[in-house]
Chain A
């Protein structure tokens, strides 16, 4: 049977962000923007959604005088991501 895919993760930009954050300890907004080739506005909205769901933590800091946004995946986010990948397997290799 097909498992239900988490709608929050089954979106291209949010999944890209989560895929990056699952493989690093933390990453800043500029890195995420360049890697996902997204616009600042769209990325901000998607990061906000992931943060509200408790999948990532967002810290606003400063690099010199420039503001820096650092994102980090949470335990809830890791579990959701793992569950999502498990669900994906049911589509790729249906029993």
Chain B
């Protein structure tokens, strides 16, 4: 491949390599959304069922299903990525840092509920919505920005509606803001690699 070539070939090669690399980056990028989205939906449905059967608010602890599923899942996804051919971009690093901050804040805020009651579901939807919107803005993906706004707007019904079924609204918000965009991201990634 190391032969001399023309100036036009050079330009074509540069644009082809950059284009290929950008397309590669999108492959599998929806998996993180799917992991946390499905984990949250499972937890929210479990809490709703438990509360409707028992009326025991201690079952809100079932929300710790989210880190119980999410953290090992995150470890496995990272391990899978590292076992494949590896590239890392500035955008990967920025998005990683954004979610480290939002994830840590969400976890710490969730622990605060043990000390003082507050509308935790609304706060979580707001935090995640902000993270999703920022991610959408960074990767210039409109449907992700819309998904983030849906989650942010979802804090309003979560503040207004109380009772067991607010958990189902919470699940619905995560379905629209994480699961649906996660599947769209993965489908788009696959289509580009056919």
Question: Interface on A for B, CB 8 Å cutoff?
Answer: 5, 10-16, 19-20, 22-28, 30-31, 34-38, 42, 46, 63, 68, 70, 85, 88, 91-92
> In the complex, how many angstroms separate the beta carbon of B73 from the nearest chain A beta carbon?
20
A-B contact pairs, 26 of them (CB 8 A): A5-B7, A11-B4, A12-B2, A12-B3, A12-B9, A13-B2, A15-B14, A16-B1, A19-B14, A23-B21, A23-B22, A23-B89, A24-B21, A25-B90, A26-B86, A26-B87, A28-B85, A30-B85, A34-B85, A35-B17, A35-B21, A42-B1, A42-B2, A70-B86, A85-B14, A88-B11
Q: What residue of chain A has the Cβ atom nearest to residue B17's Cβ?
A: A19
0/1 interface trace, chain B 88-104, chain A, CB 8 Å (1 if under): 11101100000000000
CA distance A92 to B6 in the complex (A): 11
> In the complex, how many angstroms separate the beta carbon of A78 from the nearest chain B beta carbon?
12
Question: Nearest 7 pairs between A and B by C-beta?
Answer: A19-B17, A91-B7, A31-B85, A28-B86, A30-B85, A27-B87, A13-B1
CA distance A36 to B93 in the complex (A): 24
Q: A28-B86, A34-B85 are in contact. Are A19 and B18 (CB under 8 A)?
A: yes
Best-buried of A19, A26, A31 by chain B (most CB within 10 Å)? A19
Q: A16-B17, A19-B17, A35-B17 are in contact. Are A88 and B10 (CB under 8 A)?
A: yes
Within 8 Å of chain A (Cβ to Cβ): is B5?
Answer: yes
Other 11 A-B pairs with CB < 8 A, given A15-B13, A23-B21, A31-B87: A23-B18, A23-B89, A25-B90, A25-B93, A28-B85, A28-B86, A31-B86, A36-B17, A46-B2, A63-B82, A63-B86
> In the complex, how many angstroms separate the beta carbon of B95 from the nearest chain A beta carbon?
12
Enumerate chain A residues within 8 angstroms of B86, measured Cβ to Cβ: 26-28, 30-31, 63, 68, 70
CA distance A29 to B24 in the complex (A): 16
Number of A-B contacts (CB under 8 A): 86
> Binding site of A, secondary structure by majority: helix, strand, loop or mixed?
helix
Task: Pick the residue among A11, A12, A25 that contacts B88 (CB under 8 A).
Answer: A25
CA distance A31 to B55 in the complex (A): 54
> In the complex, how many angstroms separate the beta carbon of B10 from the nearest chain A beta carbon?
6
> In the complex, how many angstroms separate the beta carbon of B115 from the nearest chain A beta carbon?
40
Within 8 Å of chain A (Cβ to Cβ): is B187?
Answer: no
Whether the Cβ atoms of A63 and B83 lie closer than 8 Å is yes
CA distance A22 to B4 in the complex (A): 21
